[in-house]
């Protein structure tokens, strides 16, 4: 290489008012509030033009008033022109009715309006009513304990009852991890028919711990158990127990088991249990005190004096090494179910599950895809199928073909193509020879894995790449394969030096050098593959202190360290020499392969084999007839078919 899933989670029923009633009460309160505001703003105000009482009496005496309504507080009426008016009545005026009679004004009495008094009372007592309502609400929350989301419910369990009315997952949707599936199928059978096991003296396991790398299907297995068991299934995350307040986590554990007892037999699923189940006694501070109290309560509930019959706890983690030993003993987590990364057969089965939803073209072969995805987890394979479907949709295809899966695999493994990246013709040529060097050395090393694809299209941080894939999954590596990998890693740098000279060697081999150095170091210090140092371990992994993949010397003698460095250098230089011997002897094939890389940009392993055997590449979709190839001097020569010549016919660019 040249560098550069919607669950339908519902709460348990009961324990609270009907949501429709609560909504009706809320909207009723809003409506009453609006009526109160309207009354405050417009209620109790007399209609018509306001006038003074003396002016009113003068208009009555002048005969300008037609009729009036008399109340204890106000006088409203209409003048002879039909205009309404109002005035405030003076109570101590016994001459008013005589004045009205003398001037022929018709008048009627009006009953007193109590609305003003009601509004006055509400205005004065409304704040007290609001305070009283808030107090009653708080007291009700305290009395009923509050829900997990209530005002006083922070000590309540956040476990959710998994209903899965839609998108139900069963064991038919779980593939590639048959051993783990069988372990959990037995738990489901026990829940369905406990007498089948109890009559022979067997007891149901109290807990099962799912252990595996991220994406291997631990949560999917738990959902499958929920779909198969037909019993209540509570799910919660380990981080839901941990709070800054001491005692809250323990309270949530107690409440969770209380819910489970009411619904027994049932299953409790705790995802990422390492968030709460870490070994005790490490670290200081309230946060650790809270976590340890939570863990202690969990240990007591799982296997304390009080039996929790019918409650099965299933937990998942990808870090079993940090869990407290008390959590892992029999009686708590009776079984540790390893959920491994699937092998080639498992990957094929997983792909078949995910491909059910895709409209596939006839050329799609799950076995070929499984062979080309070593180390992929179930989540990776699901992502691969999704990327292939998106690519097919982007290309306006009705079916997802093998080409989409190949392109999706390249994108997932190597990164997206960077076709917009501007490279000079010299950089393209150097990249082509660099990758051709890797490929040619790989073809001449019998222990090397077969070439799957070689490309000079930039992807991710790489300007080009040669991808090799094993014929089958490898669980150990032999010495001859390691030496072959060292030679292949050095092939790119050697090709640059042979073609362009010592002074033109680029920095593109930095990743290859790093890989070769790390491989040689492991051969010497871990795997005992140095005759001078013998079968001893000189470096020990310190994952808990220095980080994943870092090591620390355990034998720090100066002479030993010097000898280790010499052996590492010797192994890498041996690989360099092997690559040099191959490329020097087969320089014509190096030019041939580099020219093909520049012409096509991407070659499959079969095309490379065909090129080395026949000197040409036949592609059905390529135009027939001679194709012009530019010579370094600027002239062109015809090329029959796709057969490439010697070094003077190598094109300057793609």
Element (H, E) at 192: helix 178-192
Is the distance from CB of 479 to CB of 522 less than 8 angstroms?
Answer: no
Give the dihedral sign, CA 143/146/150/156: positive
User: Which residues of the chain register pLDDT less than 70?
Assistant: 1-48, 111-126, 137-168, 243-247, 281-289, 304-308, 417, 419-422, 460, 471-473, 475, 540-556, 620-654
Is the distance from CB of 234 to CB of 256 less than 8 angstroms?
Answer: yes
Q: Are residues 524 and 574 in the same domain?
A: yes
Q: Are residues 351 and 398 in the same domain?
A: yes
Predicted local confidence at residue 334, as pLDDT? 81
- Round to whole Å and give the CA distance between 314 and 266: 11
Which CATH number characterizes residue 56's domain? 3.30.720.210
Predicted local confidence at residue 456, as pLDDT? 84
Q: Are residues 464 and 611 in the same domain?
A: yes
Q: Are residues 526 and 558 in the same domain?
A: yes
Domain-ending residue, one of 338, 353, 377: 338
Q: Are residues 433 and 578 in the same domain?
A: yes
- Round to whole Å and give the CA distance between 545 and 557: 22
Give the dihedral sign, CA 569/571/572/573: positive
Q: Are residues 88 and 107 in the same domain?
A: yes
CB-count burial class (<10 Å; 0-12, 13-18, 19+) for 259 = middle
Active-site hit among 404, 435, 599, 607: 435
Which CATH number characterizes residue 355's domain? 1.10.8.60
Q: Which residues sit opposite 85 in a β-bridge?
A: 49, 77
Domain total in the chain: 5
Q: Are residues 390 and 440 in the same domain?
A: no
- Round to whole Å and give the CA distance between 150 and 546: 43
Predicted local confidence at residue 373, as pLDDT? 85
pTM attached to this predicted model: 0.58
Residue 76 lies in a domain: yes
Q: Are residues 329 and 349 in the same domain?
A: no
Q: Are residues 107 and 132 in the same domain?
A: no
Residue 273 lies in a domain: yes
Instruction: Tell me which residue has tokens 């499958």.
Output: 224
CA distances from 326 to 279, 297, 303, 331, 564 (A): 9, 12, 10, 10, 42
- Round to whole Å and give the CA distance between 429 and 448: 25
pLDDT tens for each residue of 548-599: 334 444 445 788 888 999 999 999 999 999 999 999 998 888 999 999 888 8
In 3D, which of 311, 321, 194 has the Cα closest to residue 258?
311
Domain-ending residue, one of 363, 382, 414: 414
pLDDT tens for each residue of 22-79: 556 666 666 666 666 555 555 444 556 778 888 888 888 888 888 888 877 788 888 8
Range of the domain at 579: 425-616
Is the distance from CB of 617 to CB of 595 less than 8 angstroms?
Answer: no
Residue 653 lies in a domain: no
Domain-ending residue, one of 301, 322, 338: 338
CB hemisphere CA count around 367 (13 angstroms): 2
106-110 CB contacts, 8 Å cutoff, 24+ apart: 106/66, 106/67, 106/68, 107/67, 107/68, 107/69, 107/70, 107/77, 108/67, 108/68, 108/69, 108/70, 109/69, 109/70, 109/71, 110/69, 110/70, 110/71
Residue 626 lies in a domain: no
* Cis? peptide before 329, omega within 30° of 0: no
Residue 3 lies in a domain: no
Residue 7 lies in a domain: no
Is the distance from CB of 306 to CB of 260 less than 8 angstroms?
Answer: no
CB atoms within 10 A of CB 158: 18
Q: Are residues 194 and 89 in the same domain?
A: no
Predicted local confidence at residue 641, as pLDDT? 33
Residue 242 lies in a domain: yes
Integer-rounded Cα Rg, in Å, for the chain is 42
The verdict on whether 585 is a catalytic residue reads: no
Is the distance from CB of 243 to CB of 185 less than 8 angstroms?
Answer: no
Q: Are residues 457 and 560 in the same domain?
A: yes
Residue 9 lies in a domain: no
Q: Are residues 132 and 97 in the same domain?
A: no
Predicted local confidence at residue 25, as pLDDT? 66
- Round to whole Å and give the CA distance between 358 and 594: 38
């Amino acid at each position: 290489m040249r560098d550069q899933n919607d669950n339908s989670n519902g709460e348990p029923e009961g324990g609270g008012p009907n949501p429709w009633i609560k909504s009706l009460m809320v909207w009723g309160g809003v409506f009453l509030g609006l009526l109160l505001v309207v009354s405050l703003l417009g209620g109790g105000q007399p209609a018509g033009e306001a006038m003074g009482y003396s002016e009113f009496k003068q208009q009555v005496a002048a005969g300008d008033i037609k009729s009036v309504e008399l109340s204890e507080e106000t006088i409203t009426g209409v003048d002879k022109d039909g205009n309404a008016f109002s005035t405030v009545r003076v109570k101590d005026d016994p001459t008013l009715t005589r004045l009205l009679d003398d001037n022929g004004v018709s008048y009627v009495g009006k009953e007193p309006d109590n609305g003003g008094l009601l509004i006055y009372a509400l205005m004065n007592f409304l704040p007290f009513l609001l305070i009283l309502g808030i107090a009653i609400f708080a007291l009700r929350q305290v009395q009923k304990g509050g829900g997990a989301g209530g005002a006083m419910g922070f000590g309540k369990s956040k476990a959710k009852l998994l209903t899965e009315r839609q998108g139900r997952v069963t064991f038919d949707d779980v593939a590639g991890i048959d051993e783990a599936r069988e372990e959990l199928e037995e738990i489901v059978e026990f829940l369905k028919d406990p007498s089948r096991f109890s009559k022979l003296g067997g007891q149901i396991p109290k807990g099962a711990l799912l252990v595996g790398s991220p994406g291997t299907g631990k949560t999917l297995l738990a959902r499958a158990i929920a779909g198969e068991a037909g019993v209540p299934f509570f799910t919660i995350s380990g981080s839901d127990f941990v709070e800054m307040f001491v005692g809250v986590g323990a309270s949530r554990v107690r409440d969770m088991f209380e819910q489970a007892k009411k619904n027994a037999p049932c299953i409790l699923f705790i995802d990422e249990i390492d968030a709460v189940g870490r070994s005790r006694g490490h670290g200081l501070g309230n946060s650790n005190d809270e976590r340890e109290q939570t863990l202690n309560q969990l240990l007591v509930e799982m296997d304390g004096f009080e039996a929790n019959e019918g409650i099965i706890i299933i937990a998942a983690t990808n870090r079993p090494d940090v869990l407290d030993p008390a959590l892992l003993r029999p009686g708590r987590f009776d079984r540790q179910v390893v959920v491994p990364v699937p092998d080639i057969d498992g990957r094929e089965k997983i792909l078949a599950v995910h491909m059910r939803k895709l409209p596939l073209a006839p050329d799609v072969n799950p076995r070929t895809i499984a062979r080309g995805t070593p180390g992929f987890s179930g989540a990776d394979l699901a992502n691969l199928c999704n990327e292939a479907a998106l690519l097919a949709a982007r290309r306006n295809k009705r079916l997802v073909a093998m080409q989409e899966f190949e392109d999706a695999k390249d994108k997932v493994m190597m990164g997206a193509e960077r076709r917009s990246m501007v490279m000079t013709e010299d950089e393209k040529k150097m990249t082509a020879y660099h990758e051709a060097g890797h490929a040619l050395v790989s073809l001449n090393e019998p222990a090397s894995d077969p070439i799957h694809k070689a490309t000079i299209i930039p992807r991710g941080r790489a300007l080009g790449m040669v991808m090799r894939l094993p014929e089958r999954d490898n669980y150990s590596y032999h010495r001859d394969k390691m030496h072959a990998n060292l030679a292949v890693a050095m092939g790119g740098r050697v090709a640059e030096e042979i073609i362009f000279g010592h002074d033109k060697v680029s920095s593109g081999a930095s990743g290859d050098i790093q890989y070769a150095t790390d491989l040689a170091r492991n051969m010497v210090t871990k795997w005992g593959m140095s005759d001078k140092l013998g079968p001893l371990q000189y470096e020990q992994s310190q994952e808990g202190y220095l980080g994943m993949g870092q090591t620390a010397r355990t034998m720090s003698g100066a002479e030993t360290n010097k000898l280790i460095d010499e052996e590492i250098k010797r192994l890498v230089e041996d690989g360099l020499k092997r690559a040099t011997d191959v490329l020097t002897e087969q320089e014509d094939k190096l030019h041939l392969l580099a020219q093909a890389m520049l012409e096509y940009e991407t070659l499959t392993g079969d095309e490379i084999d065909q090129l080395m055997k026949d000197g040409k590449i036949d592609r059905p979709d390529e135009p027939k007839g001679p194709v012009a190839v530019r010579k370094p001097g600027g002239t062109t020569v015809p090329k029959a078919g796709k057969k490439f010549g010697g070094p003077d016919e190598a094109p300057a660019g793609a």
